Structure 1
């Protein structure tokens, strides 16, 4: 259902307000570049500092811009199951194709609690759910055996796996043998090529904000078993990955998008944009220029 290269969209802000024209423009630029799907209001979209009304407005604008041309997998997560249900139901009303649901941060539920959380969201919203495992941010790990349990639910249709652990994805793939409907999406651009080679179906990418065509071509080549071509695209995007993760995401990618003239650099505290005149700012600008990425 959700396969190929999906962009974890930045959320353009200006003077601490949503930059609505830029939100719509970025979605259009992504689709024109061949991206397979859009993911608003995830970590990269600064969802943790958006109000509920802002969150839903970003989803609405993204759905409107996509106009059915690509799926919109809306971030609708919370560590409060009731709130996640409310967000997911609202995203369904707005026309999202599904929701991305991260493991509940801070609470640190058990594996049984994780199953109950994701199941409650799927059943209450009646919308496909892609679960998201990023223990480095959330403090809780969704184990492969738990993924296999969740994959039996008809509305839980995939996972964004962001550990970067290839043994982990191999184990999940092994446990899901015979289940061809469950989508395996990388949440780590650095390890995308081996992830796909192990049977993954795509990526929810930070890097594709800046270079959507590169990531789309990489996933297309892998899906068609053109591994030499996929390898070429992978190594092309690695220097960009390094530049975009020199500080915690989404600080560098938001700053890169500003350098490319695609949005303002504004971020919400506690995140701070990179000063273009600083060493990190100059390194980011040099990296973009060396890769032929210019305004």
Structure 2
């Protein structure tokens, strides 16, 4: 199957719902100063965090090394199909299972593609300790194409809310690129309420949050109802992206969007345009695909489907993850086929 030809070249455009105030705040907030007081080397000006950002898997060759060619092709494919940007070294990319040389390879491939395409590159960085996180972020200065860093809330150590704020304030002051806070308490063990998230969003140099609490909860409602100007809330739970967009999220960072990039971009555009009827129908269908995609530990099912489509050379993941079962891959393929037939009017 020629995936690019099948889905065509669709580009998502910023819609009128972005306010002038947000744009002005973006410009001010995305230019943190480096440690020497000089301008950072990251992307200047606004960071367009609207729309769909795909946290790319890291494909592996049969011999086990990173399949750089397949990674580059995937990056181009999702951008062709309407993604606003890509995320390198996210959880979906198995960053924890890569060595330093491999992480540099992945970042370099993604940076080259985003540079060629004028797309947003977000790179996973950070650590549980603040000094280690500073070191991780400093390394991003090597990649001038990087527009933002996706930084998890400190895991395992469980600081107070004040400690989390101090951590990100310190990081934002020295980071060469703006920060997107990755709030995923079922992985970090660190819940944050809407008040704390608003405080994080008010820090200079913090431009967004990937909100992935495993539910559409009251804190999400409160945050989206009163978010700081220029602060983007990005859905991080694929199943809930439609509801989050309906409540005012800017977009999403979605592993499922590897498999139906154009439809997820269409969903984001529909909500931004106020086409609730179409968005609800499409959102329900995509939620079914997302549920199938996460039926087993991520990114196993995504990789299994990509391999079945001939888009990556193996479905392999690295221990302690295991490849997805054939039943899970088949279920996701069936959901994807239903979406395709519905789009072409065959359903």
Question: Is the shorter-chain TM-score for this pair beyond 0.5, marking a shared fold?
Answer: yes
Pairing 1:106-255 to 2, within 5 Å after superposition? 106-163=156-213, 164-176=215-227, 179-255=228-304
Gaps of 5+ in 2: 1-46, 342-347
2:331 pairs, out of 273, 278, 283, with 283
Q: CA deviation at 1:97?
A: 0.3
Report the 3-state secondary structure (helix = DSSP H, G, I; strand = E; otherwise coil) of the residue aligned with 1:130.
strand
Q: CA deviation at 1:84?
A: 2.3
Q: 1:132 and 1:190 mapped to 2: Cα distance? A: 17
Counterpart of 2:71 in structure 1 is 23
Q: CA deviation at 1:16?
A: 2.4
Q: 2:271 and 2:217 mapped to 1: Cα distance? A: 17
Tell me if 1:12 matches 2:59: yes
Report the 3-state secondary structure (helix = DSSP H, G, I; strand = E; otherwise coil) of the residue aligned with 2:91.
coil
Q: 1:282 and 1:27 mapped to 2: Cα distance? A: 24
Q: 1:47 and 1:174 mapped to 2: Cα distance? A: 33
Counterpart of 1:44 in structure 2 is 92
Counterpart of 1:64 in structure 2 is 112
1:165-191 CA distance string (max 9 Å, x none): 242211112442xx3300011001111
Q: 1:171 and 1:136 mapped to 2: Cα distance? A: 20
C-alpha spacing 1:225/1:292, structure 2 compared with 1 (3 Å): closer
Report the 3-state secondary structure (helix = DSSP H, G, I; strand = E; otherwise coil) of the residue aligned with 2:120.
coil
Pairing 1:93-108 to 2, within 5 Å after superposition? 93-94=142-143, 95-108=145-158
Query: Mean Cα displacement is larger for which, 134-143 or 229-238?
Result: 229-238
Q: CA deviation at 1:102?
A: 0.9
Report the 3-state secondary structure (helix = DSSP H, G, I; strand = E; otherwise coil) of the residue aligned with 2:233.
strand
Q: 1:192 and 1:77 mapped to 2: Cα distance? A: 25
Q: 1:206 and 1:28 mapped to 2: Cα distance? A: 16
The alignment covers a number of residue pairs equal to: 289
Structure whose alpha-carbon radius of gyration is higher:
2
Q: 1:29 and 1:273 mapped to 2: Cα distance? A: 23
Q: 1:291 and 1:131 mapped to 2: Cα distance? A: 32
Q: 1:98 and 1:134 mapped to 2: Cα distance? A: 18
Q: 2:79 and 2:97 mapped to 1: Cα distance? A: 26
Contact 1:145/1:175, CA 8 A, preserved across alignment: no
Q: 1:11 and 1:284 mapped to 2: Cα distance? A: 19
Q: CA deviation at 1:275?
A: 4.2
Report the 3-state secondary structure (helix = DSSP H, G, I; strand = E; otherwise coil) of the residue aligned with 1:23.
helix
Q: 1:223 and 1:287 mapped to 2: Cα distance? A: 25
1:190-235 CA distance string (max 9 Å, x none): 1112211212111111110111111111111111112222223212
C-alpha spacing 1:283/1:148, structure 2 compared with 1 (3 Å): closer
Q: CA deviation at 1:25?
A: 0.6
Contact 1:144/1:175, CA 8 A, preserved across alignment: no
Counterpart of 2:50 in structure 1 is 3
Q: 2:232 and 2:151 mapped to 1: Cα distance? A: 14
